[in-house]
Amino acid sequence: MSEQLRVDGVTKSFGKVQVLRGIDLALAEHEVVCLIGASGSGKSTLLRCVNLLEPVDEGRIFLGGEEITAPGVDENRARQRIGIVFQAFNLFPHMSVLDNVTLGPRKVLRLPRPEARARALELLGRFGLADRGDDYPDRLSGGQQQRVAIVRALAMRPQLLLLDEVTSALDPELVAEVLSVIRELAEGGMTMLIATHEMGFARDIASRVCFLDAGVILEQGPPGQIFTSPAEPRTRQFLDRIIAAGRL
Amino acid sequence: MQESFFYWPEFRESFPDILEKFWTNVQLFLLAEVFILVWGLVLAVLRSLQGPVFFPLRLLSAAYTDVFRGIPTILLIFLLGFGVPGLQLSGVPRSQFFWATVSLVLVYSAYVAEVYRAGIESVHPSQEAAARSLGLNRLQALRYVVLPQAIRRVVPPLLNDFIGLQKDTALVALLGVVEAFRQSQIEVAGSFNYTPYVATALIFLALTIPLTRFTDWLVARERRRRR
């Protein structure tokens, strides 16, 4: 299996706070890696760095073997190959669902409108949103909005999909519909890096789980091992708190 | 007093002439408004560009707004309307209508740029992040995602400035351009009756009041939408 993403010694500070303190991580093609860890451990920042939404301070990031953090790299070209879905959906409120989904393909990939539209309708149909194309985001439930956001990212046919706590802003009864979409993507072979608080989901879906603590990956391994017999005391502490909260 | 301000025969006689000259005001503010909306947007966009490369442009835009918001409109109208034609430069228009329009565009674009800028800043950064994450470049993100939302939000304050502009078109009377207000001055000078001023006021109100109500309605609608 070829390597899809490699993160090499990445650090990132905001002001005096060092949020990432040397992250090393590699994802093979079709791999699904879940990032777990307390809020503030750096999960979101790592995803934003991978997508070049935040410039890294040190270290390098490779996408399909090609360094995307090198000076002179076309960031827009790199970004179009990496999809990201945000916690707060971030749909464009002034556009219909269809326009949200076709904006990237039309303006970045330069697809003619009918083709972009066909691609969008196909994806929307696949995720149970076939009749929602003409609606505006504020007419949709949170779960539907997040599925549209996933479709919007997929419409660019990314090599890698980043999911940043995509169910955290949802009402509990809407979480399942979004998770099932992600599960379907995993089965379809999409390479994904997922920051999540849904431990049960991570256990089911991940090929590997990384525990982030204070800006470093403290421990990683198959979900069976991380969730049942973590090696690090900090990981155990974190999981105990999650269990106490009834989330695992 | 009634005779002096509301003298019907005088009203009837002066009204058609004033209304005819009001056309000049209408042309003036419509023409000016087009340039104001475009130039103001350019200024606002320049000011919102990020990164050290654009620092000079940001600075220029900021300086522009500071200067033209700080100068009394009437002063600028005199400065350009009398000053520039007085230089008798070849190739430079001498029309006072032209310089009056330029003055209003310079001043109002500074206000309008600030309105646009407030709109741009009110769009949450996550919107731009979402656009950039799809691979859109900065300009595309601005064009398709940020500006449409920003402009929608500032339509009411923009209309407000437009109302101000309509009134300020009367200032160009001071250059000798015969528009509605200047025409009413002429009428008053001939009859020593102030009714023509009242007639002019009514004409202005007939335009500004509906626009004000429309603006109020838009604001209310926007508030209902955002709840």
Chain B nearest-CA distance from A78, in A, is: 7
Mean pLDDT along residues B72-99: 84
Q: How confident is the model at residue A18, as a pLDDT?
A: 93
Domains (range + CATH), chain B: 2-226 (1.10.3720.10)
pTM above 0.90, yes or no: no
Classify residue A98: in a domain, yes or no: yes
| Torsion of the alpha carbons at B99, B101, B103 and B104, rounded to the nearest 10 | 170
Mean of all residue pLDDT scores within chain A: 93
Classify residue A18: in a domain, yes or no: no
CA-closest candidate to residue A69, choices A79, B193, B99, B84: A79
Whether the pLDDT of residue B58 is over 70: the answer is yes
Render pLDDT for A170-204 as a digit per residue (tens, 0 to 9): 888 889 889 999 999 999 999 999 999 889 889 98
Residues A51 and A132 sit within 8 Å (Cβ to Cβ):
no
Classify residue A130: in a domain, yes or no: yes
Give the pair of three-digit tokens for residue B149: 């939302």
| β-strand partners of A238 | none
Chain B nearest-CA distance from A95, in A, is: 9
Interface touch B133/A84, C-beta < 8 Å:
yes
Render pLDDT for A118-161 as a digit per residue (tens, 0 to 9): 999 999 999 999 999 999 999 999 999 999 999 999 999 999 99
When mean pLDDT is compared across A81-95, B73-87, B212-226, the lowest value belongs to B212-226
Residue A174 is given by DSSP the state H
The distance in angstroms from the start CA to the end CA of chain B is 50
Contacts of B132 in chain A (CB under 8 A): 53, 76, 79
Give the Cα separation of A168 and A134 in Å (integer): 26
Chain B nearest-CA distance from A235, in A, is: 31
Scanning every residue of chain B, which has its alpha carbon at the shortest distance from the alpha carbon of A95? B145
B169: Cα separation from own chain's centroid: 9
Interface touch A90/B129, C-beta < 8 Å:
yes
Number of domains in chain A: 1
Q: List the domain range (segments joined by +) for residue A143.
A: 91-158
Interface touch B134/A53, C-beta < 8 Å:
no
Per cent of chain A over pLDDT 90 is 85
Give the Cα separation of A1 and A198 in Å (integer): 27
Classify residue A210: in a domain, yes or no: no
Residues A97 and A132 sit within 8 Å (Cβ to Cβ):
yes
Classify residue A66: in a domain, yes or no: no
Classify residue A232: in a domain, yes or no: no
Q: Which residues of B touch A (CB under 8 A)?
A: 126-127, 129-137, 140, 144-145, 148-149, 152
Classify residue A223: in a domain, yes or no: no
- Residue B68 banded pLDDT, cuts 50, 70, 90: very high
Whether the pLDDT of residue B62 is over 60: the answer is yes
Interface touch A94/B152, C-beta < 8 Å:
yes
Classify residue A148: in a domain, yes or no: yes
Q: How confident is the model at residue A109, as a pLDDT?
A: 95
Whether the pLDDT of residue B2 is over 80: the answer is no
